[in-house]
Amino acid sequence: MIPDFNKIDQLLRTADLLLVATPIYYLGLPAPLKAILDRTQRYFSARFSLGLHPPIAKHKEAALLLTCGAESGDGADMISRQIKMAFTVLNATLREEILWAGTDTNHDLSFLLPEIKAAAKKMQERLPILAI
């Protein structure tokens, strides 16, 4: 293992909640986030080569917040599939997904506030430690 990932590894092992907030670039993940997800290969290896199931013992809840310039939101499904795959070996369950599309022309996110508040409330109900 490369030691530069050890701090992130410790955080992934002890977290109660994973929140991934990212823009969609060319229908995919930005390079820095993709690099981190690629490093979770150690958990796939632990699960499928070493038989550790789950490779990370502590279960966690997860949420995905996406933004994209296009109105269509293209790419959100692809990113969701990638994130869900990584979460399987991080022992995380993706509970909430929110997409803010059209950010190139629509800078007002007030229309999303009810959805964001509802998602935050649901997450708080499952994780009472969250002070929202």
* Domains of the chain, earliest start first: 3-126 (3.40.50.360)
pLDDT-derived band at 13 (thresholds 50, 70, 90) equals: very high
Closest to 79 measured CA to CA, from 25, 39, 35, 123 = 25
- 121: pLDDT strictly greater than 90: no
**DSSP result, 63-110:** EEEEEESSSS-TTHHHHHHHHHHHHHHHTEEEEEEEEEE-TTT----G
Measured between alpha carbons, how far is 61 from 86 in angstroms, rounded to an integer?
13
Q: Tell the burial category of 42 from Cβ atoms under 10 Å away from its Cβ (0-12, 13-18, 19+).
A: middle
Question: What tokens were used for 87?
Answer: 């979460």
Question: What does pTM read for this prediction?
Answer: 0.83
Model confidence pLDDT, tens digit, residues 23-75:
999 999 999 999 999 999 999 888 888 888 888 999 999 999 999 999 998 99
